[in-house]
Homo-oligomer: A and B are copies of this chain.
């Protein structure tokens, strides 16, 4: 009776639920742990015979490498974070899907943070709330300022989406908002619309994106020889459907209502559309409507929505690529700014169905 308390004689090991590790594989295959590691990692200098044997045992024991240990040893986790305002804003949902896919192709796992567009939360995320857990961060900020970013002490690589912060300390991927907004507005003007409203202006402090799209809108009016009527520029608190609906109501209640509206997001446009239809307006004959983002909802509403379609696939891929370059240390220098393509997609809300 060597070990009295150990186990009943029959059962081999009643509580042998220990996770199987390389040690176990190594023992059973009659090799060292490092050799197992080499097999797992596809190291070249392993005899086909040893490799086969090890792989056999791995399958037998259903061995899976422990990611935490690997991460600890290698100093990285293979996880990147994607921080967006809210996942159920369609634009961000579509973006998230693509980012997750793009990251997957590079063997990276994506962890999603929702900031609610809240500045504190965005600051926390940028400052490294997930520190040590993530190798990199893709952040789509709404309220963050350039100062917030400079205050960042964490050195985890970061890529920004949207052009909230120019000349900031981080790479960013953007759409040429000015040109895009201009194209959309020009399209409305080309249709003969004279009183073109804009929905989506925002507080100077809050939205760089809004500022740029507004600038594009104004440039277009000027180029088309149309007067700029400040009463046609409707500010919103946020970019939700409800804001678009309210803004549209205000525009319609005013003295001389618009005959066209350029909304700075599709969600705003869908809200505006709801108000228009509710009040019996025909879209487009009476009012033409254009949005921005090209979310799927816009493709299936009635009427379908004319919109600016940023190349989301390109945005996602670029973001992941920039990030990977920083993470690997291949790229070191100053912040980079990447512009991605966009195009005007003309649908029923501006040109009608009859065609």
Interface residues, chain A, with chain B CB atoms under 8 Å away: 19, 62, 64-69, 71-72, 75, 77, 79, 86-88, 90, 93-94, 96-97, 100-101, 109-114, 128, 130-133, 153, 241, 245, 270-271, 273-274, 277-278, 296-297, 299-302, 353
Contacts and interface: CB of A to CB of B under 8 A. Distances in A.
Nearest to A77: B68
A93 to B, nearest CB: 4
A222 to B, nearest CB: 33
6 contacts: A64-B131, A100-B112, A109-B133, A110-B112, A241-B299, A270-B297
B300 A132 contact: no
Given A278-B353, A353-B278, A90 B88 contact: yes
A19 B153 CA distance: 13
A66 B132 contact: yes
Give the residue among A68, A86, A93, A132 with the most B Cβ atoms within 10 A: A68
A72 B270 CA distance: 49
A87 B111 contact: no
Contacts of A79: 111
Contacts of A72: 66, 68-69, 72
Contact of A94 (B71, B88, B111): B88
A61 B79 CA distance: 25
Contact of A88 (B131, B274, B296, B302): B296
A65 B112 CA distance: 21
A232 to B, nearest CB: 23
Contacts of A153: 62
A112 B111 CA distance: 6
A111 B112 CA distance: 6
A98 to B, nearest CB: 9
Rank and list the top 3 A-B pairs by shortest CB-CB distance, nearest first: A68-B71, A277-B302, A93-B93
Nearest to A73: B68
